[in-house]
Amino acid sequence: MIRTLLSACWLCCAVHCAAAAEPPLPAVLPAPRSVTQLDGGFTLDAATVVCPEQGLEPLADYLSDYLGLASDAARAGEGALVLRTEPRLGAEAYELRILPGRIEIAGGDRGGVFCGIQTLFQLLPPEVYARRCPLPVRLACREVKDAPRYAYRGMMLDVARTWIGPEPLRRYIDLMAYHKINKLHLHLADDEGWRIEILSHPELTEIGGFRGGDSPVRPVYGKWDEKYGGYFTQREMRELIDYAAVRNIEIIPEIDLPGHSRNIARVHPEILCRYTPDTAPSNGYDLRSAWCPAREENYTLLEDILGELCALFPSPYIHIGGDEVEASQWARCPDCRAMMRRCGLTEARGLQDRFMERLAAILARHGKLPAVWNESVRGRRLGRDTRVHGWESMKACRDALAAGYPTVVMPAAWFYFDMRQTPREEGHDWAAVFDVRKTYGFDLRAEGVTGEELRRVAGFEGAFWSEAYVSHEPERPDYLDYMLFPRLCALAELAWHGNDEGWEAFYDRLQHAHYDRMSAMGVRYRLFPPEVSTGGGAVAAKAPDAGAEVWYRVDGDTTAHRYVRPVATCGPHRYLFHTRRGTGRSPEVGVPARYRTITPGLRLTTSMGESARIPYANVERYATFARTAHTCRPGDWILYEFAAPVRCREMVLQTGNRQLPKTIVTTGYVEVSADGLNFERVAELEKGSVVLRPEGPVRAVRIVSTAEDNGCAYVTVQPPRILPVL
């Protein structure tokens, strides 16, 4: 079939290019349904005029802006680039014809025309994305016929935990649009921030949009010492909605309810249950801050909030959250208990269904439908016009589909782009550690979705949660790009086209065409790590990605050198390699010996008491982390004493969790002792951690806190990572 022809294009091209005059088939991503080669060519030059059908002027402007062309509805003749709709094609479908005398893009609707424009971009030199397409460009004549596999092709961005404002958001909207992603799910409120102006309750953003400093909202994650935040005014949001709409993207707002509501609970404490709440400080995941479902006034406030969202957002759906609700606080609330009796409920958890039902009714009054996280349909009480986002697992997705709900399939283990991509990179790991290849390989049938349930799949969505992103700034301004790309490319391929052509063919298009496009887009995407090997007294490295350069640096030195040949060395573990291609970068890797650790006899003590459940012994066995019983105050200490003096090339001491720096010793210093008696101050803590490179033997190390409470009820202590002298 034509599709197979397309998939094989790069291979064929490599083999036949020298002999055949046929131009190669285009490496469009996501792949179109069919491409047919026609005779002749068309020269796109500065004289080409974009000619839109009435109503498509915004798309003509969009296109003209990238190509520097004039747009004139009256000049549909020879040499024109015609944009028109042809409803028979269906939603978002398009036909792109490059003919000797003209280019035609016919879309089933505006979305289809937009998708046709994106395919045209991919037939042009990559510089089109930088608005520097060198004209004239000679294009081979062809006909592309294309339509999406799924109507829902989404990306969720959590702008609540880390504030992502209008400017960067516009950039991500562009990047999604280039990939034919058509839904932007904006997570606008969570424990750590409220990001959308509600005119009838300005305090929600005026107070809740900022945390730390003099705000009643406590600081969290990496932003301890400043008042941090921001929010979208309704005007700004309206502009973003319009900006996205031109780009065939619908913005779906989410307010996470009734859990993940610590932020609004600081602004309106009365929304909580009527019992003495546990007031111990805690950061994020503060599951105690759920709205009280039995408090009637809460629904008035929610009507105000949701009513404004319904008026502001044209999307037929409003996402009302519903994940990770801790029902124990309801079980202790007298009003909730009375409500449970009234409803004949034996479990407090059932109250969530009633709460969500009330919200669905509010939305219905405003002509909208609810979208929810999968936990909200466990009780099956919400109407089957509710759209479910299945995130926890494939089982959660299958359950929602089996219960009859249209479901956006987004299990974290394939679609959460906040997960790290290899074990030593940054990111969460609770769901899985995976790269673009795993996302691409996602297969509904292999995951047990069949028959009727397959038809209920609304589509796929990628997600980026940002509770830890905030702590990557300003050191890693490329972090979000790096986490999203190229995993988002695989998401787009799956949702638009499917993965029937297989990884190798997809990867071929990615490395031979799409990396260059992403470079022109200015995306700081992730490349595959280099393969590092040793032998014959040298260390060698190879880039898996076509056209990628290998670079290396030596331990303790930040200067990178271009790798040209194996490096002769008797200390291969001292070298770290990475690859570069355009704006792409791989992670740094070294030889396995670099990462080997030793576990000398250790005793851990602290001044903050020992958690009964997660004891010091965990660390002494180098098994897992330990917890203290109290948070850290100035002068508090953590002491690591070794049974015998340890010689090592590096010792990494870490408090908190790598991805969630919430349980760290926020600020402090480190002292080292050679004899266990006399200590010398050698370093400051950075984000709760320190890397020591001791010159002599170490008998003991002590972390001393200068922090006035870390905002959490305890400190987590990780086992030291000790790298032997090699």
Kindly tell me which of 285 and 669 has the beta carbon lying closer to ligand TNX. Answer: 285
In whole angstroms, the minimum distance from the beta carbon of 659 to ligand TNX comes to: 9
In whole angstroms, the minimum distance from the beta carbon of 418 to ligand TNX comes to: 5
In whole angstroms, the minimum distance from the beta carbon of 608 to ligand TNX comes to: 27
What stretches of 676-719 adopt beta strand conformation (E)? 679-684, 689-692, 698-705, 716-717
- From candidates 373, 482, 642, 714, binder to ligand TNX by CB under 6 A: 373
In whole angstroms, the minimum distance from the beta carbon of 259 to ligand TNX comes to: 9
Segment holding 35, helix H or strand E: strand 34-44
Rounded to 5 degrees, φ, ψ at 646 are: -105, 130
Kindly tell me which of 111 and 219 has the beta carbon lying closer to ligand TNX. Answer: 219
Kindly tell me which of 286 and 481 has the beta carbon lying closer to ligand TNX. Answer: 286
Contact 648, 672 (CB under 8 A): no
Instruction: Name the nearest CA neighbour of 638 among 701, 551, 567, 575.
Output: 701
Kindly tell me which of 461 and 516 has the beta carbon lying closer to ligand TNX. Answer: 461
Kindly tell me which of 323 and 549 has the beta carbon lying closer to ligand TNX. Answer: 323
Q: How many residues does the chain have?
A: 726
Question: Tell me, what amino acid is at 604?
Answer: L
Task: Give the Cβ contact number of residue 526 at 10 Å.
Answer: 23
- From candidates 109, 418, 501, 516, binder to ligand TNX by CB under 6 A: 418
Give the contacts of 41 (CB within 8 A, at least 6 positions apart). Answer: 98, 100, 138, 139, 140, 141
Kindly tell me which of 657 and 706 has the beta carbon lying closer to ligand TNX. Answer: 657
Q: Residue 524 corresponds to which tokens in the numbers above?
A: 């700081």
In whole angstroms, the minimum distance from the beta carbon of 221 to ligand TNX comes to: 11
In whole angstroms, the minimum distance from the beta carbon of 427 to ligand TNX comes to: 9
Kindly tell me which of 191 and 501 has the beta carbon lying closer to ligand TNX. Answer: 191
Q: Residue 145 corresponds to which tokens in the numbers above?
A: 């016929």
Kindly tell me which of 140 and 431 has the beta carbon lying closer to ligand TNX. Answer: 431
- From candidates 304, 323, 429, 641, binder to ligand TNX by CB under 6 A: 323
Q: Is the dihedral of CA 419, 424, 425, 428 positive or negative?
A: positive
Residues 134-153 that bind ligand TNX (CB under 6 A): none
In whole angstroms, the minimum distance from the beta carbon of 467 to ligand TNX comes to: 5
Q: Residue 181 corresponds to which tokens in the numbers above?
A: 């992603």
Kindly tell me which of 388 and 692 has the beta carbon lying closer to ligand TNX. Answer: 388
Per CB under 6 A, 416 contacts ligand TNX: yes
Residues 378-397 that bind ligand TNX (CB under 6 A): 391
Segment holding 463, helix H or strand E: strand 457-464
Kindly tell me which of 26 and 390 has the beta carbon lying closer to ligand TNX. Answer: 390
In whole angstroms, the minimum distance from the beta carbon of 480 to ligand TNX comes to: 14
Q: Residue 151 corresponds to which tokens in the numbers above?
A: 């109507």
In whole angstroms, the minimum distance from the beta carbon of 428 to ligand TNX comes to: 5
What is the per-residue binding string for ligand TNX in 464-483, x denoting contact by CB under 6 A? Answer: -x-x----------------
* Position with the least CB separation from ligand TNX: 465
Contact 721, 692 (CB under 8 A): no
Residues 234-263 that bind ligand TNX (CB under 6 A): none
- Rounded-to-integer distance, Cα 494 and Cα 153, Å: 9
- From candidates 57, 143, 324, 555, binder to ligand TNX by CB under 6 A: 324
- From candidates 179, 319, 428, 497, binder to ligand TNX by CB under 6 A: 428
β 152-158/183-190 pair status: parallel
Q: What is the DSSP-derived secondary structure letter of residue 513?
A: I
In whole angstroms, the minimum distance from the beta carbon of 324 to ligand TNX comes to: 5
In whole angstroms, the minimum distance from the beta carbon of 416 to ligand TNX comes to: 5
# residues contacting ligand TNX (CB under 6 A): 9
Kindly tell me which of 97 and 487 has the beta carbon lying closer to ligand TNX. Answer: 487
Identify the three-state secondary structure at position 39. strand
Q: Which residues pair with 604 in a beta bridge?
A: 640
Instruction: Name the nearest CA neighbour of 234 among 201, 211, 268, 190.
Output: 201
Rounded to 5 degrees, φ, ψ at 278 are: -75, 115
User: Quick one: three-class SS letters along 196-264?
Assistant: ECCCCCCHHHHCCCEECCCCCCCCCCCCCCCCEECCECHHHHHHHHHHHHHCCCEEEEEEEECCCCHHH
What is the per-residue binding string for ligand TNX in 330-369, x denoting contact by CB under 6 A? Answer: ----------------------------------------
In whole angstroms, the minimum distance from the beta carbon of 497 to ligand TNX comes to: 26
Q: First and final CA of the chain: distance in angstroms?
A: 57
Task: Give the Cβ contact number of residue 349 at 10 Å.
Answer: 17
Q: Residue 120 corresponds to which tokens in the numbers above?
A: 């045209």
- Rounded-to-integer distance, Cα 190 and Cα 323, Å: 11
Per CB under 6 A, 549 contacts ligand TNX: no
**Residue 633 burial by Cβ neighbours in a 10 Å radius (0-12, 13-18, 19+):** middle
Q: Residue 254 corresponds to which tokens in the numbers above?
A: 């989410």
Helical H runs in 430-478? 436-440, 451-456
- Rounded-to-integer distance, Cα 597 and Cα 654, Å: 15
Per CB under 6 A, 57 contacts ligand TNX: no
Residues 504-523 that bind ligand TNX (CB under 6 A): none
In whole angstroms, the minimum distance from the beta carbon of 586 to ligand TNX comes to: 23
Kindly tell me which of 470 and 541 has the beta carbon lying closer to ligand TNX. Answer: 470
In whole angstroms, the minimum distance from the beta carbon of 194 to ligand TNX comes to: 15
Kindly tell me which of 317 and 679 has the beta carbon lying closer to ligand TNX. Answer: 317
Kindly tell me which of 467 and 545 has the beta carbon lying closer to ligand TNX. Answer: 467
Backbone angle region of 170, left / alpha / beta, with phi > 0 → left and psi within -120 to 50 → alpha: alpha
Per CB under 6 A, 326 contacts ligand TNX: no
Kindly tell me which of 86 and 418 has the beta carbon lying closer to ligand TNX. Answer: 418
In whole angstroms, the minimum distance from the beta carbon of 233 to ligand TNX comes to: 25
The contact set with ligand TNX (CB under 6 A) reads: 323-324, 373, 391, 416, 418, 428, 465, 467
